[in-house]
Amino acid sequence: MTGVAPVRFADVLRPGDAIIFGQACGEPTSLVEALIEQGDRIPGLSAFIATSFSGLFTPETAGIFTLSSMGAIGALRTMTRAGRLQIIPVHVSQVGPLISAGIIPCDVAMIQVSPADADGNHSCGLISDYVRAAVDKARVVIAEVNEAVPFTPGETIESSAIDIAIPVNRPPVEVLSAAIGPIDEEIARYCAAFIGDGAVIQTGIGAVPDAILRRLKDRKDLGVHSGMLGDGLVDLAEAGVVTNARKEVDAGISINGALIGTRRLYDWAHRNPAIRMCATSYTHDAAILGRLSRLVTINSALEVDLTGQVNAEQSGSAYPGGTGGQVDFVRAGARSPGGRSIIALSASAKGGTLSKIVPQLSGPVTTARSEVDVVVTEYGAAEIKGRSLAERTRRLIAIAHPDFRETLDRAAHAIQQRGF
């Protein structure tokens, strides 16, 4: 185990223990590697991680414990394809409370933190969403104290709360920016039209979010309140576009729960008072979000049906997504004075052979049609909030891939004949 002081899990863990890992770029990779190496000596272990980009969890390496997650996000998709990942359908805002309540069990918390400050407090660094909840609930807290993790303002873990500290100095997980293609650019163009000066934005990571952020460099006084942020934030902050000056709460500060990007983002966030890392009890809290005007939220989907129902989790038998924070932010954006809530997706998949605007969903309803405001594809924006079922259908067909519009129109007619 590169750069890891010896840790004997057999002396710390008990048979049947439930482990909670820090997730995303806050994954304690040294501890994960150690558990994979030693875990077969401790029977009945289970573990929960919300997302993973490290590639350490595979059907072969993670076969020594039962792994669960809120979705097949990032590198966890290999686990679902092999039937080795148990999915817990849960909003990301509920993960912390479910850990606190013992519904998602936590005997052992394994987290990654920065070195402590002069007061003995460790920054949560790159992830702060459910870390505090896991630390407070666990019988044993094992922290990978990583010299390479930035000390970000916000959520901290006091040294006294850590039972075992493992010092390391290794690069944390990085997620490179996705390649932006012509379709991503068109989707971004329609999305960016809804973001004016003074807007507060929430978005995820990936090609479309990155393309959207690139189109905002002529805006003024944008704010940020999001569950996750990538490298695109740095460009806008350094250009003076993101100032958070007009936010009703947390003026001057970008609020975030997860930094998912590269070293550039991590270095920018280090001791930067312009950002604050918060638990999901704050980033996704309805009362806090309800105080923000001009909030524009942007989330993705696998498919949208002709009434506006959104599936962001499962496509047929494949489970490539998750519930995430979509519903929390869809509701917030749609209800914000001057705000909007956008569901963005490409119009087709599999080389243009499969429409993503569909008569009926092939998977679960992640976001109800009554919550949806705007749906965007590369063919336009369908504003459907407050519209009748028939009008929604017309508008959604108009932004479908042209090759499927006739088929969708016939399907819509059949559905209307028998009643929505």
Residues 204, 23, 115, CA angle at the centre, nearest 5°?
110
CB 149 within 8 A of CB 125: yes
Q: What is the DSSP letter of 5?
A: -
CATH superfamily of 9-168: Glutaconate Coenzyme A-transferase (3.40.1080.10)
Query: Can you give the pLDDT at residue 6?
Result: 63
Q: What is the pLDDT of residues 19-46, one digit of tens each?
A: 999 999 999 999 999 999 998 899 999 9
Cα–Cα dist 56/378, whole Å: 35
pLDDT confidence tier of residue 420, bands split at 50, 70 and 90: low
Look at residue 3 and tell me whether its pLDDT is greater than 80: no
**Tens-digit pLDDT profile for residues 277-325:** 999 999 999 999 999 999 999 999 999 999 999 999 987 766 667 788 8
Find tokens 């666990």 and name the residue: 138
Architecture per CATH, 182-418 = 3-Layer(aba) Sandwich (3.40)
Domain coordinates in residue numbering, the chain: 9-168, 182-418
Token output for 243: 């100032």
pLDDT at 250 > cutoff 60: yes
Among 392, 144, 127, CA closest to 269: 127
Taking residues 92-107, report their average pLDDT. Answer: 96
Q: Kindly report, residue by residue over 54-98, the tens digit of the pLDDT.
A: 999 998 888 788 999 998 888 888 888 888 899 999 999 999 999
Same fold, 9-168 and 182-418: yes
Cα angle 404, 407, 408 (rounded to 5 degrees) comes to: 80
What's the whole-number mean pLDDT along residues 332-342? 97
The mean pLDDT value for 338-343 works out to 98
- pLDDT at 4 > cutoff 60: no
In which band, very low, low, confident or very high, does the pLDDT at 419 lie, cut at 50, 70 and 90? low
Alpha helix positions (H), 279-401: 280-283, 286-289, 326-335, 389-398
C-beta contacts of 263-267 below 8 A and 24+ residues apart:
263/171, 263/174, 264/231, 264/234, 265/229, 265/230, 265/231, 265/233, 265/234, 266/126, 266/149, 266/150, 266/172, 267/150
**Is the confidence at residue 216, as pLDDT, over 90?**
yes
Q: How far apart are CA 204 and CA 344, in angstroms?
A: 11
Mean pLDDT computed over every residue of the chain: 94
Q: In this structure, which amino acid lies at residue 400?
A: A
Report whether pLDDT(2) > 70. Answer: no
Give the pLDDT confidence of 232-242 residue by residue, as tens digits: 999 999 999 99
pLDDT value at position 317?
A: 66
Residue 326: how many other CB atoms lie within 10 Å: 26
| Region 200-209 average pLDDT | 95
Q: How confident is the model at residue 1 (pLDDT cuts 50, 70, 90)?
A: very low
Q: Does residue 129 carry a pLDDT above 70?
A: yes
Structure confidence at residue 77 (pLDDT): 83
| pLDDT (0 to 100) of residue 184 | 97
The pLDDT of residue 323: 81
What's phi and psi for 33, nearest 5 deg? -60, -40
Average the pLDDT over 208-227 and give the result: 97
**pLDDT tens sequence across 162-188:** 999 999 999 999 999 999 999 999 999
Q: How far apart are CA 360 and CA 419, in angstroms?
A: 13
CA distance 326 to 98: 18
Task: Identify the CA nearest to 187 among candidates 354, 381, 401, 398.
Answer: 381
